[in-house]
Amino acid sequence: MEKSNVVVLEGNFKADGLKIGAVCARFNDFFVNRLLEGAKDTFVRHGGKLEDITVAYVPGSYEIPFAVKKLLQTGKFDAVIALGVVIQGATPHAGYINSEVAKSLCQLGLESGTPVTYGMITAEDIEQAIERSGTKAGNKGVDAMNAAIEMANLSKVIK
């Protein structure tokens, strides 16, 4: 994109020195662990240190926003990522969990002024969950960490 003559504010992908909080649901941990591994690998490959990632575990995706809020309240993190997997076929109220969690996470980011990124898989079935946690449809934990790094650095630039 042509960038001359305009003032551009954007976040780079340097993770060195950034502090990241991660909230992981234990439900479907087989997949959530893959998301967390992807997120950690991404952070390190962008220059971050593993000891700068703090992971909080919650029982299921429904509890993720609560722990995100608690991490944000510490004021210690440049961004918080949310990692969970809700599988439609096995979860009658999947749509309800997904929409509530997405709405709450967005709200928490806006209210706190610290970026919160969405590393949730909402899958129709186990096969889709496999595809989105590190096989043919990528890894949503990687995407969430990339977004967290970019948004944390954008926040610093706008300040």
Are residues 85 and 141 in contact, defined by beta-carbon separation less than 8 angstroms? no
Cα separation, 109 vs 1, in Å, equals 28
Is residue 63 a contact residue for ligand RBF (CB under 6 A)? yes
Cα separation, 14 vs 149, in Å, equals 7
Among this protein's residues, is 93 annotated catalytic?
A: yes
Nearer to ligand RBF, 133 or 153 (CB): 133
Instruction: Return the amino acid letter for 120.
Output: M
Among candidate residues 49, 70, 76, 93, the one labeled active-site is 93
The vertex-31 CA angle with 28 and 33, nearest 5°, equals 100
Is residue 24 a contact residue for ligand RBF (CB under 6 A)? no
Among 62, 72, 134, 147, the residue binding ligand RBF under the rule CB under 6 A is 62
Among 97, 116, 145, 149, the residue binding ligand RBF under the rule CB under 6 A is 97
Residues that bind ligand RBF (CB under 6 A): 25, 27-28, 59-63, 84-87, 90-92, 97
